Amino acid sequence: MHCHPEVPQPLGAGNLPDRHLAAATDDVAALRPIRAILGRTDYWRLNEHRRRYESLGSPLLMRLARLIRAKMLDATVVDPDQLPPDVVTGTSLVTFAIGRRQETRLLYHFDYEDHRRNQLHVGTFSGVTLIGMRVGQRMRLLDGSGVAGEVRVLAVGPDSATDGPAFG
């Protein structure tokens, strides 16, 4: 695995609008450094989510955009074929725990046509937190109003783009 320092990074936090609440900024800053591993495809798709949320401009979406920005700035970006198999990607089937509650969800970025599965959009607080995490890793989970708990990745299943219906 290697880092791609030449991959353009999003603009720094100094370009965020002034309407951010101090508490929201402090919560996101307290997560750093966010040690994530992202494939280039996921990196650019996260950037699209961030840009869309910043253009919409509501306080909740701006908070989510700030979380995405922090994740991207602290991530190691690798070629998709160099991602370790235990890393959550934007098409992974991931089992995770929030507190004692366990869930298995299929992550997706934009459109996903299999409506029978339990899906989780990457562009949510949970999705942004999970993408780039490794099995066994823990992280504080933010929501629209603050810290909602801690998330822990338990398992990462096959990539949904390359495999059939895993995890039922």
β-pair partners for 101 = 98
- Residues 21-40 have a mean pLDDT of 69
Average pLDDT score, the chain: 79
Tens of pLDDT, residue by residue over 63-97, are 999 999 999 998 999 998 999 999 999 999 999 99
In this structure, whether the domain defined by 25-156 belongs to CATH 3.10.50.30 is answered with yes
pTM across the whole model:
0.76
> What gap in Å lies between CA 64 and CA 91, rounded to an integer?
20
Instruction: Delimit the domains of the chain by residue range.
Output: 25-156
Residue 23 near residue 65, CB atoms below 8 Å: no
> What gap in Å lies between CA 118 and CA 151, rounded to an integer?
18
> What gap in Å lies between CA 17 and CA 1, rounded to an integer?
35
The one-letter amino acid at 21: L
Give me the sign of the Cα torsion angle 74, 78, 80, 82.
negative
- Residues 49-75 have a mean pLDDT of 92
How much is the pLDDT for 51?
95
For residue 28, give the nearest of 139, 131, 152, 130 by alpha carbon.
Answer: 139
Tens of pLDDT, residue by residue over 134-151, are 999 999 888 777 777 899
